[in-house]
Structure 1
Amino acid sequence: MLWDVEAEDWLVLGFEVVDGRSSDFAPDSPDLPLVVDSIGEIGRLSLPRIAQDWTETRWDRFVSDGAEAELFRGDSLLCTDLNPSNFLMVKRRVWAVDWAWPTRGARFIDPALLVLQLIAAGHTPDSAEKWAEQLTAWREAAPQAVDAFAAANLRMYRAAVDRKPEADWLKAMVDACQAWTEYRGVAPDWLMSGSRRTGEPSPGRTGAVVGRRQ
């Protein structure tokens, strides 16, 4: 952002024009090292004063208890909207744009969201996690927190498909979530048994899911 002007009921923002293309998250894409570096740079940003009250709570309604919700708390600035269209490539430089859902939460969340997006783009869960392993925030994450996050996203996207069954991209995200939870060994019993119930945790399992910050 280059400048901003606030007058009466208007807030006008002026941005630099970036003449770039959307990034490619597919396996073997040359964009991936730059995207990973960009996410690492985001993770090193100081939390702005304005973000102090932006506590990450969007997964809370999908977890089994308050203790699990605490796994997603933290003091890191998160972008949380890490899809290929939001990384613009300009030669050997990458721009992270469209910060519509910034929050304050656990450092591992952005790397974990990258994993999910990479799986949706055609990576195996193992390959996707190997990209995330380049990030300190991922390497330092508690395995149980990542497990809960993976299961959470599955519940969220299945619920989203119920609301919008015509949205193919949501179905693709469900498939990615299912692959990830199976890889991590935390696929809910209702999934493994073929049940079509959505958003329903199975006995003895825990999980979480993602929705927009209110």
Structure 2
Amino acid sequence: MRPKELKAMNRELPGPGFWALIQPHTGVLSQAQPTARGFGSDLTAIIECEKGPFFVKAMRNRPGGRRASLIRERLINPAVQPISPTLLWHADDDEWLALGFDVVDARRSDFTPASPDLPGVVDLVDRLGDLPIPDIARDWPESRWDRFAVDETEAELFRGDALLHTDINPSNLILGERGRWIVDWSWPTRGAGFIDPACLVVQLIAAGHTPEAAEAWAAGCRAWADADSIAIDAFAAATRRMHRSRADRHPEATWLEAMAAAAGAWAVHRGVAEVPGQAMT
């Protein structure tokens, strides 16, 4: 099928120049089915083709954080393949950056309290904590929570030598009959190992768990079990401030308010925030 025919099938697809860019890797194209994509990509699609299929993730080649995130995802893939789909090829020109991944048969996970997915979710986050830090990631220190810490001493509690994903959510932890994977490595960093299990805690609370129950699930991760409670307290407080700041900047985004509420509930549970309407004693 010619690129212009693919374009005609679906208005969400890019133009002929993009298909010409990736065709050396795909061979003859037969079908492209866009998938639900996050904020960081201009295209995510399953590409049926002569050499595939492939899951293709692409964005416009423009300076900025989004471009840098796709480059990081390409660079980190060899280090995370035990728990992530394999990157099989990449291509770029003046207009586009594209990554071609192995296609895995999987669905997003369910974080709700009665979900049978929860043991597998915890296992994935625990296995993430076992991945060695690759040399490429040593220059990617985690700092996004720093400005929400009380001071630099508190921010130092978030430092470490663990490889972090930091976007733990149901869409990025996918489950199938033949395996479980963590996807969307848009901004891997190096930091304290408890951070990814802590991100899981907030997501579980947002999905309906009590803070106590969410932490009980996180306790299945060795990085959480080995962490200093003072560091977790500081991170909970910083996470509450981070999510509140985001929700206040975008009041139209109800999901941000839900995350702020979950982070707030966790901070109250840890004793580092006031119960709404009550003063801390």
TM-score greater than 0.5 by the shorter chain: yes
Q: Provide the aligned length of Structure 1 versus Structure 2.
A: 194
Question: Unmatched 5+ residue regions in structure 2?
Answer: 1-85
Measured at CA, do residues 22 and 5 of structure 1 come closer, stay the same or move farther in structure 2, by a change above 3 Å? closer
Deviation per CA, 1:39-59: give whole Å up to 9, x if none: 111111111111011001111
Secondary structure, in 3 states, of the residue corresponding to 1:84? coil
How far is 1:19 from its partner? 2.6
Percent identical among aligned pairs is 58
Structure 2 Cα separation of the partners of residues 192 and 71 of structure 1? 30
**TM-score, with normalisation over the residues of structure 2?**
0.65
Could you say what the CA RMSD is over the residues aligned between the two structures, in angstroms?
1.9
Note the 1:106-185 alignment, pairs <5 A: 106-185=192-271
Note the 1:11-90 alignment, pairs <5 A: 11-90=97-176
Structure 1 Cα separation of the partners of residues 260 and 251 of structure 2? 12
Query: Greater RCO between the two (CA within 8 Å, min separation 6)?
Result: 1
Structure 2 Cα separation of the partners of residues 6 and 52 of structure 1? 25
Larger fraction in strand: 2
Measured at CA, do residues 143 and 6 of structure 1 come closer, stay the same or move farther in structure 2, by a change above 3 Å? same
How far is 1:184 from its partner? 1.2
Secondary structure, in 3 states, of the residue corresponding to 1:116? helix
* Residues 151 and 188, structure 1, Cα contact 8 Å, conserved in 2: no
Secondary structure, in 3 states, of the residue corresponding to 2:157? helix
Structure 1 segments of 4+ aligned residues over 6 angstroms from their partners = none
Secondary structure, in 3 states, of the residue corresponding to 2:104? coil
Measured at CA, do residues 7 and 99 of structure 1 come closer, stay the same or move farther in structure 2, by a change above 3 Å? closer
How far is 1:85 from its partner? 0.6
Question: Unmatched 5+ residue regions in structure 1?
Answer: 195-201, 203-214
Structure 1 Cα separation of the partners of residues 179 and 199 of structure 2? 21
Q: Which residue of 2 aligns with 1:209?
A: none
Secondary structure, in 3 states, of the residue corresponding to 2:139? coil
How far is 1:124 from its partner? 0.5
| Pair 1:4-2:89 in alignment | yes
